[in-house]
């Protein structure tokens, strides 16, 4: 049954899906495909979720059991804030354990229209570093003062643990879960993806910089505090640049005849 759905080639919103929701579904599928292209996946684990436009308390994410490279707009699962499935063409459902982390940020952080979670080597390595993300590259300066850290607590199986997610994130863009991986939020899928992509790049640069250091504070060169703050401000309001990046990435997927918009 699932195979028939996946091969149906359905394109465009159904009568039950608004144009705004379809656009959100397509963007979500693009983001999953891009993370697959970049190798930033953990098989069927980790997630991207988005709020359904104009449907309070409803969210979309990939069926739990699909690889990121299989993402299609028509196959996204819709659920409520408690993880109850509202629609699911595949019958696979969602990872409720994973979504409970996302829903806490969606509901507790107004700017978290999209939440992305990753388990990459570089981001986890930096999350494990006591001083976290260091201002060692211009990429890292984009996030200066906008990264929060939460110590490992295992499964987020209590209301108290879940409440700590938005409380710790505050007004930031990234919440680094120690020993686990980053949670990146954004007002749009494109902006959340851009943040995650450049966070990954910044973390790789940090890991490379620290790889030969015995005493990072003595051996490495750091920019000045005022330069760090100025560059962080310079990166704000970059929606037009992000839109150009997103359009270019979509063209790349289209050139491969990707089926994300079906």
Residue 11: pLDDT band with limits 50, 70, 90: low
Q: Above 90 in pLDDT, residue 3?
A: no
**What pLDDT is recorded for position 258?**
87
Average pLDDT rounded to a whole number, residues 113-140: 97
- Give tens-digit pLDDT for 37-94: 999 999 999 999 999 999 999 999 999 999 999 999 999 999 999 999 999 999 999 9
Edge-to-edge strand list for the sheet holding 48-51: 85-87, 77-80, 58-61, 48-51, 114-117, 181-186, 174-177, 147-150
What is the domain partition of the chain in residue ranges? 2-255
The domain covering 2-255 belongs, at the CATH homologous superfamily level, to Class II aldolase/adducin N-terminal domain (3.40.225.10)
Q: Is 90 helix (H, G, I), strand (E, B) or coil?
A: coil
């Amino acid at each position: 049954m699932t195979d028939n759905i996946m091969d149906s080639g359905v394109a465009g919103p159904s009568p039950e899906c608004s144009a705004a929701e379809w656009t959100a579904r397509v963007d979500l599928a693009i983001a999953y495909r891009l993370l697959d292209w970049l190798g930033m996946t953990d098989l069927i684990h980790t997630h991207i979720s988005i709020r359904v436009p104009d449907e309070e308390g409803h969210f979309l994410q990939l069926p739990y059991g699909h690889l990121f490279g299989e993402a299609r707009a028509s196959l996204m699962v819709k659920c409520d804030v408690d993880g109850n499935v509202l629609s699911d063409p595949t019958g696979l459902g969602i990872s409720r354990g994973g979504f409970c982390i996302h829903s806490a940020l969606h509901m507790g952080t107004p700017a978290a229209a999209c939440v992305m979670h990753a388990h990459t080597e570089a981001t986890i390595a930096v999350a494990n570093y006591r001083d976290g993300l260091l201002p060692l590259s211009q990429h890292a300066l984009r996030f200066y003062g906008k990264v929060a850290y939460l110590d490992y607590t295992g499964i987020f199986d209590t209301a108290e643990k879940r409440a700590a997610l938005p409380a710790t994130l505050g007004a930031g863009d990234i919440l680094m879960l120690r020993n686990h991986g980053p949670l990146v939020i954004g007002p749009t899928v494109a902006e959340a993806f851009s943040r995650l992509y450049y966070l990954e790049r910044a973390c790789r640069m940090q890991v490379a910089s620290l790889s030969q250091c015995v005493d990072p504070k003595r051996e490495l060169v750091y920019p000045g505090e005022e330069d760090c703050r100025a560059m962080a401000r310079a990166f704000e309001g970059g929606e037009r640049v992000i839109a150009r990046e997103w359009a270019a990435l979509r063209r790349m997927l289209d050139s491969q005849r990707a089926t994300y918009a079906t």
